[in-house]
Chains A and B, each alone.
Chain A
Amino acid sequence: MDSVALEPSLYTVKAVFILDNDGNRLLSKYYDTELYPSIKEQKNFEKNVFNKTHKADNEIAFLEGMTIVYKSSIDLFFYVVGSAQENELMLMAVLNCLFESLNLILRKNVEKRCLLDNLDGAFLVVDEIIDGGVILESDPQQVVEKVNYRTDDNPLSEHSVAQHITEKLAITTNVLQTAKEQIKWSILK
């Protein structure tokens, strides 16, 4: 924790990643290429962070010379990493925005299964919040608006059920029609 003042810059976020409850990477972006240049170093770092944070929901930690803010939801862990001198509240703003935006597009089902079903949406959300380490947007409403993402229509959504019923109805009417005809003919005979 040195006291060297921060060079004024927009580059606030060093990395952001989402892990599952076994510490596996689901999504991660490193914006500072010097931080952990290789995949191996990145995964080691993620493992270390996960081991130190998954037990207690403490919101903030200081590891490997970096400030890390985090949040968990059911079986997901969200992390935002910044330098030791970074304003912790700025990092919190990013973390909250990430979480709230995902909460909105996943319709409050912030859990692994739902996230993976809508992984494209998650990629787009991260892309709208941070661009190359710069905070692009911090208002979750704005983020969701910009991403304009629709969750997948479930095969059993209202629409398809309605269609299904209409089809069924159509068939029934058909059967009724034929029956009517037959009765008519039999009477005429």
Chain B
Amino acid sequence: MIKKFDKKDEEAGSGSNPFQHLEKSAVLQEARIFNETPINPRRCLHILTKIIYLLNQGEHFGTTEATEAFFAMTRLFQSNDQTLRRMCYLTIKEMANISEDVIIVTSSLTKDMTGKEDVYRGPAIRALCRITDTTMLQAIERYMKQAIVDKVPSVSSSALVSSLHMVKMSYDVVKRWVNEAQEAASSDNIMVQYHALGLLYHLRKNDRLAVTKMLNKFTKSGLKSPFAYCMLIRIASKLLEETEGGHDSPLFDFIESCLRNKHEMVVYEAASAIVHMPNCTARELAPAVSVLQLFCSSPKAALRYAAVRTLNKVAMKHPSAVTACNLDLENLITDSNRSIATLAITTLLKTGSESSVDRLMKQISSFVSEISDEFKVVVVQAISALCQKYPRKHGVMMNFLSNMLRDDGGFEYKRAIVDCIISIIEENPESKETGLAHLCEFIEDCEHTVLATKILHLLGKEGPRTPSPSKYIRFIFNRVVLESEAVRAAAVSALAKFGAQNDDLLPSVLVLMQRCMMDSDDEVRDRATFYMNVLQQKQKALNAAYIFNGLSVSIPGLEKSLHQYTLEPSEKPFDIKTVPLASAPITEQKTEIAPVATSKAPEKLAPSRQDIYQEQLSSISEFQSLGPLFKSSEPVQLTEAETEYVVRCIKHTFAGHMVFQFDCTNTLNDQLLQRVLVQMEPSESYEVVHHIPAPSLPYNQPGSCYTLVRLPDDDPTAVSCTFSCTMKYLVRDCDPNTGEPDDDGYDDEYVLEDLEVTVADHIQKVLKPNFGAAWEEVGADNEKEETFALASVRTLEEAVNNIISFLGMQPCERSDKVPENKNSHVLFLAGVFRGGYDVLVRARLALADGVTMQVTVRSADENVVDVILASVG
């Protein structure tokens, strides 16, 4: 009857969901008819369905109302309607966590699980196990054991799966059912077999021997269930990995034999297992790859997807193994399932030869608009990788990327493309102009401020040095007219760079600057005014210092210094040279900075390492008069790794002094060291001024002592020195357990390795984005040049790396990358010498038998030039 009413309601709602406007309270109200006698199965069934539907929709039931409904529901066990009973089980499972006292139904369920009605028994077991806890499990243990070996498959399966769920909760009880599970594993029913295998493995997985025995048994006897086979393959490959078994092991043979199974599911599982094995040889991969190849032409999309996804993984490690499938993969490019098509293309891009690139790119462009942004980013990444592999193909790629740039897409997608284009420009100088043109076009209509400013910055850097810089001006000035403040400011900076580099453009840039000075935004006006005035001076040195190469000081350091300056007003003007330099200048090379960036990203806002040292050192009164910290070196180990005492040294350079910080760790648990200091004997005219000992060095707690050294004033070229170091301390033996030291101690000493100070310790790396301008800025006044022969070096790359690490200077203009197949190279290095003098080095390298190097050094200070040349020699 009720059904009829419902039907009418539905029709009124023109066929919409009859459950759509259910009210929880109304349904619970209706649930009262559960208490009526006799029970009306159809009405009750309908209400139970509504309750489960509401739970399924995520409707929240309070504990009281849930409990009330649950107890009313228990009455329905009196009815013998099959569907109603089954819905009761479902309700029990759904409400097990929200209602109280669900265990009230235990006896009813136990009765059903042991009763005569086979239809009830399986579901009753599953419902019962859902509400049973560890203590009650003992009570039903006997029934569970019987159920596992029951001859009715659904009962046995239900018992096995429920046992598996309960392993997490009460492992010890379920463990006792191993024999029953073992018996069930030999059942004829395929699902029972599968479930028994799963339970047995879970119970034994920590016992490798038992797993091996089980595997042997089942691989020999053979199973009927494809699911069970998949499970066996997974167990076998895990075991192979753990035991690092060779590929001649019987387990590998078993997995390989599964490639010939009649079920595709098993064949695929086996192929995928082989592909994922570490250190698989090409020969072992071959059979797996060939079945995957077959799957590529399957009519089932899921199978094609599975195959191409796995092949994609193979291509990462063994691209040559996949080459045989290239034809099949190419057919998949036109697959209606775009996930399959994208995977096929990215696989092909990994395996394909240079000649196939053009064709592939054409095919991608035919459907790239149809795939989701996630896959588009995957495609862009694949292209980016391809550009590095085949740099000569940049023309095709660039064209393709610019087309993609024009399509619609989210920020992530656009950023991926822009990054890709920028990296191509950096890798291939000949692609610079086309790349810049595409980017110019892109910013004409770009809604992402971050991308627009990034591109404007790039234009400012690269644009002025192209053959016809004037064509970029229009694009940049359009931004000044049309965009938001941040973009306008970036555009003004870019304009200034054009004016500074190109004299013939200067008048027009000045006119544009004049207009920018009327801007409504402070930052834009400020920049325009500043650049205007710098440009009007028409001095190369000013341009280089203030337009091309920005500040090289550390920003937190500058902030602190300025704050300090305002606190102590003085007649003296603020000196920027007192501000510590940025210790890790942003490198130009994106590829190199990537790993660093990821590890440092979370602490980006934290002060740099050098700022921390500066803080630590200035808290020691003896060091306060030394001035700002100029440079801190990387730690140098002065002991072997496994010695009694571990000592490492960090060299801090100041304007006229050096502080050596010794981080010492005492690894002897029966000693307490006190008054620890490091005695240093210099080889040159360095003067050891002061020692600051570490008061006490208990077991395994690092402590620091310091030694202050004055650098020789009279001989500025004496930059390198060797110190012989000895650690001196007072030893007090102590109880290893309590750490209680003896009253008396004795003096002892420990010889450390020699410590070297080199020219690199006196030079801080500084990046000059425009080396040429900086070179002109410093001028030729103190220029010196010398030629050296590096006999021991075999390649240009080696020479470049040696020079960089020896001088400790920053390579500019990507000159640290030596192009392939070249016999000569020019390396540009920039840095700041102790005392704040800019140093620039140009090293021309030529490869003959050894490497010949012509070094030209420029600096504001003549001594510095001598120092560099002397140390290179």
- A-B interaction: yes
Partner of A87, one of B123, B265, B372: B265
- Evaluate contact between B306 and A89: CB separation under 8 angstroms: yes
User: Does A152 reach chain B (CB closer than 8 Å)?
Assistant: yes
Please give me the residue from chain B that is nearest to A12 by CB atom: B227
Chain B min CB distance to A141 (Å): 13
List residues 63-106 of chain A with CB under 8 A from any CB of chain B: 69, 87-93
User: Does B119 reach chain A (CB closer than 8 Å)?
Assistant: yes
- Evaluate contact between A28 and B56: CB separation under 8 angstroms: yes
Residues of B within 8 Å of A32, CB to CB, are: none
- Evaluate contact between A138 and B126: CB separation under 8 angstroms: no
Chain B min CB distance to A188 (Å): 48
Given A124-B86, A131-B158, is A3 in contact with B276 using a C-beta cutoff of 8 Å?
yes
- Evaluate contact between A58 and B337: CB separation under 8 angstroms: yes
Residue interface bits B34-64, CB-to-A below 8 A is 1, else 0 = 0000000000011011001100111000000
Partner of A61, one of B19, B268, B273, B339: B339
Partner of A116, one of B17, B162, B337, B339: B17
- Evaluate contact between A89 and B264: CB separation under 8 angstroms: yes
Residues of B within 8 Å of A6, CB to CB, are: 234
- Evaluate contact between A136 and B161: CB separation under 8 angstroms: yes
Please give me the residue from chain B that is nearest to A29 by CB atom: B56
Given A58-B336, A123-B49, A131-B158, is A90 in contact with B227 using a C-beta cutoff of 8 Å?
yes
Complex: A5 Cα to B238 Cα, angstroms: 8
> Which of B190-198, B244-252, B282-290, B462-470 sits within the interface?
B190-198
List residues 142-163 of chain A with CB under 8 A from any CB of chain B: 146-150, 152, 155
- Evaluate contact between B123 and A127: CB separation under 8 angstroms: yes
User: Does B122 reach chain A (CB closer than 8 Å)?
Assistant: yes
> Which of B65-73, B297-305, B392-400, B691-699 sits within the interface?
B297-305
Residue interface bits B230-242, CB-to-A below 8 A is 1, else 0 = 1100110110010
Residues of B within 8 Å of A10, CB to CB, are: 161, 164, 194-195, 198-199, 202, 231
- Evaluate contact between B238 and A8: CB separation under 8 angstroms: yes
- Evaluate contact between A90 and B230: CB separation under 8 angstroms: yes
User: Does B572 reach chain A (CB closer than 8 Å)?
Assistant: no
- Evaluate contact between B48 and A120: CB separation under 8 angstroms: yes
Complex: A20 Cα to B57 Cα, angstroms: 13
Residues of B within 8 Å of A59, CB to CB, are: 300-302, 305, 337
- Evaluate contact between B302 and A92: CB separation under 8 angstroms: yes
Complex: A88 Cα to B301 Cα, angstroms: 10
Residues of A within 8 Å of B273, CB to CB, are: 5
- Evaluate contact between B3 and A152: CB separation under 8 angstroms: yes
Chain B min CB distance to A38 (Å): 9
Chain A min CB distance to B50 (Å): 9
Residues of A within 8 Å of B194, CB to CB, are: 10, 135
- Evaluate contact between B337 and A89: CB separation under 8 angstroms: no
- Evaluate contact between B302 and A69: CB separation under 8 angstroms: yes
User: Does B82 reach chain A (CB closer than 8 Å)?
Assistant: yes
Complex: A134 Cα to B231 Cα, angstroms: 12
Complex: A52 Cα to B373 Cα, angstroms: 11
- Evaluate contact between B52 and A123: CB separation under 8 angstroms: yes
- Evaluate contact between B15 and A113: CB separation under 8 angstroms: yes
Residues of A within 8 Å of B300, CB to CB, are: 59, 92
Please give me the residue from chain A that is nearest to B301 by CB atom: A59
Residues of B within 8 Å of A120, CB to CB, are: 45-46, 48-49, 52, 83, 87
Residues of A within 8 Å of B309, CB to CB, are: 1
Chain A interface category by residue count? 35 or more
Chain B min CB distance to A111 (Å): 10
Residues of B within 8 Å of A135, CB to CB, are: 191, 194, 227
Residue interface bits A1-24, CB-to-B below 8 A is 1, else 0 = 101011111100000000010001
- Evaluate contact between B302 and A60: CB separation under 8 angstroms: yes
Residues of B within 8 Å of A93, CB to CB, are: 227, 265
- Evaluate contact between B276 and A5: CB separation under 8 angstroms: yes
Complex: A58 Cα to B264 Cα, angstroms: 20
Residue interface bits A36-47, CB-to-B below 8 A is 1, else 0 = 000100110000
User: Does A175 reach chain B (CB closer than 8 Å)?
Assistant: no
Chain A min CB distance to B99 (Å): 18
Complex: A5 Cα to B157 Cα, angstroms: 27
- Evaluate contact between A60 and B123: CB separation under 8 angstroms: no
Given A87-B265, A131-B158, A136-B191, is A58 in contact with B339 using a C-beta cutoff of 8 Å?
yes
Chain A min CB distance to B513 (Å): 49
Residues of A within 8 Å of B157, CB to CB, are: 136-137
- Evaluate contact between A52 and B372: CB separation under 8 angstroms: yes
Residues of A within 8 Å of B58, CB to CB, are: 39, 42-43
Complex: A43 Cα to B58 Cα, angstroms: 10
Please give me the residue from chain B that is nearest to A56 by CB atom: B336
Residues of A within 8 Å of B17, CB to CB, are: 20, 24, 26, 112, 116
Chain A min CB distance to B226 (Å): 8
Partner of B4, one of A42, A112, A155: A155
Residues of B within 8 Å of A113, CB to CB, are: 15
- Evaluate contact between A5 and B241: CB separation under 8 angstroms: yes
- Evaluate contact between A146 and B154: CB separation under 8 angstroms: yes
Residues of B within 8 Å of A9, CB to CB, are: 198, 202
Of A10, A20, A56, A152, chain B has the most CB atoms within 10 Å of the CB of A10
Given A24-B17, A58-B336, is A89 in contact with B303 using a C-beta cutoff of 8 Å?
yes
Given A58-B336, A93-B265, is A149 in contact with B83 using a C-beta cutoff of 8 Å?
yes
User: Does B313 reach chain A (CB closer than 8 Å)?
Assistant: yes
Partner of A134, one of B49, B56, B198: B198
User: Does B269 reach chain A (CB closer than 8 Å)?
Assistant: yes
Chain B min CB distance to A160 (Å): 12
Chain A min CB distance to B126 (Å): 6
Residues of B within 8 Å of A127, CB to CB, are: 90, 93, 123
Please give me the residue from chain B that is nearest to A137 by CB atom: B191
- Evaluate contact between B154 and A8: CB separation under 8 angstroms: no
- Evaluate contact between A8 and B201: CB separation under 8 angstroms: yes
Complex: A11 Cα to B269 Cα, angstroms: 16
Complex: A139 Cα to B272 Cα, angstroms: 25
Residues of B within 8 Å of A148, CB to CB, are: 82-83, 119
User: Does A108 reach chain B (CB closer than 8 Å)?
Assistant: no
Given A20-B17, A120-B48, A148-B119, is A138 in contact with B195 using a C-beta cutoff of 8 Å?
no
Residues of B within 8 Å of A117, CB to CB, are: 18
Please give me the residue from chain A that is nearest to B317 by CB atom: A3
Residues of B within 8 Å of A121, CB to CB, are: 83
Of A8, A60, A117, chain B has the most CB atoms within 10 Å of the CB of A8
Please give me the residue from chain A that is nearest to B234 by CB atom: A8
Residues of B within 8 Å of A62, CB to CB, are: 339
Partner of B90, one of A8, A91, A124: A124
- Evaluate contact between A58 and B83: CB separation under 8 angstroms: no
Residues of A within 8 Å of B162, CB to CB, are: 131
Complex: A121 Cα to B86 Cα, angstroms: 10
Chain A min CB distance to B429 (Å): 36
User: Does A169 reach chain B (CB closer than 8 Å)?
Assistant: no
User: Does B710 reach chain A (CB closer than 8 Å)?
Assistant: no
User: Does A183 reach chain B (CB closer than 8 Å)?
Assistant: no
Complex: A137 Cα to B192 Cα, angstroms: 9
Residues of A within 8 Å of B123, CB to CB, are: 127
Chain A min CB distance to B649 (Å): 41
Please give me the residue from chain A that is nearest to B127 by CB atom: A127
Complex: A149 Cα to B172 Cα, angstroms: 38
Please give me the residue from chain B that is nearest to A112 by CB atom: B17
Partner of B305, one of A26, A60, A134, A152: A60
A-B contact pairs, 8 of them (CB 8 A): A5-B237, A20-B17, A26-B17, A39-B58, A91-B302, A112-B17, A120-B45, A132-B161
Closest 6 CB pairs of A and B: A39-B58, A10-B198, A59-B301, A8-B234, A89-B265, A58-B337
18 further interface pairs, Cβ-Cβ under 8 Å (given A8-B234, A127-B93): A1-B313, A10-B161, A10-B199, A10-B202, A58-B339, A92-B300, A92-B302, A93-B265, A116-B17, A116-B19, A120-B52, A123-B52, A124-B86, A131-B165, A134-B165, A135-B194, A136-B161, A137-B154
